[in-house]
Homo-oligomer: A and B are copies of this chain.
Amino acid sequence: MRVGEVCLRVFDLDEARRHYGERIGLIETHKGDRDKLYYKASDEHDIYSLVLMQSDTPGIEYFAFKTYADSDLERFEKALTEYGLTVEHIPAGTYPRSGRRIQFRLPSGHLMQIYAQKDQIGNGMPTHNPGTIPDEGYIRGMRVIRLDHILLGSSEIMRNREIFTSIFEMSISEELISHEDETRIAIFLTGSNKPHDIAFVLQPDGNRFHHISFLLESVNDLFHAGDLIGKYNIAVDVSPNRHGVTRGATIYFFDPSGNRNEVFTGGYVHYPDTPQLTWDTSQIGRATFSHDNMPRQSFLDVLT
Identify the A interface with B (CB < 8 A): 1-2, 22, 43, 45-46, 66, 68, 120, 122, 127-133, 136, 140-141, 145-146, 192-194, 215, 217-224, 226-231, 233, 236, 239-244, 247, 249, 251, 266, 268-269, 271-280, 282-283, 286-287, 289-294
Residues of B within 8 A of A218 (CB): 218-220
A237 to chain B, nearest CB (A): 9
Known contacts: A129-B286, A215-B269, A217-B266. The answer to whether A293 contacts B68 by CB under 8 A is: no
Residues of B within 8 A of A146 (CB): 269
Known contacts: A2-B271, A236-B291, A236-B292. The answer to whether A244 contacts B132 by CB under 8 A is: yes
A249 to chain B, nearest CB (A): 6
Residues of B within 8 A of A120 (CB): 273, 275
- CB of A227 within 8 A of CB of B242, answer yes
Tally of this chain's copies: 4
- CB of A291 within 8 A of CB of B129, answer no
Interface centre among A136, A231, A279 (most CB of B within 10 A): A231
Known contacts: A193-B194, A242-B223, A277-B130. The answer to whether A271 contacts B1 by CB under 8 A is: yes
- CB of A289 within 8 A of CB of B128, answer no
Jot down 6 A-B pairs with beta carbons below 8 A, ordered by A: A45-B273, A120-B275, A122-B275, A132-B227, A132-B231, A220-B221
Residues of B within 8 A of A132 (CB): 227, 230-231, 242-244, 247, 290
- CB of B272 within 8 A of CB of A68, answer yes
- CB of A45 within 8 A of CB of B131, answer no
Residues of B within 8 A of A22 (CB): 136
Residues of B within 8 A of A122 (CB): 275
- CB of B247 within 8 A of CB of A226, answer no
- Closest residue of chain B to A215 (Cβ to Cβ) is B269
Known contacts: A194-B193, A280-B128, A290-B132. The answer to whether A242 contacts B230 by CB under 8 A is: yes
A129 to chain B, nearest CB (A): 5
- CB of A131 within 8 A of CB of B292, answer no
Residues of B within 8 A of A236 (CB): 291-294
Residues of B within 8 A of A292 (CB): 229-230, 236, 239
- CB of B230 within 8 A of CB of A223, answer no
Residues of B within 8 A of A233 (CB): 293
Residues of B within 8 A of A130 (CB): 244, 277, 279
Known contacts: A132-B290, A220-B220, A229-B292. The answer to whether A275 contacts B239 by CB under 8 A is: no
A25 to chain B, nearest CB (A): 9
Contacts beyond the supplied A132-B244, A230-B293: 14 A-B pairs with Cβ under 8 Å: A43-B269, A66-B273, A127-B276, A131-B230, A131-B290, A133-B231, A136-B140, A219-B223, A223-B242, A227-B242, A229-B291, A233-B293, A236-B292, A239-B239
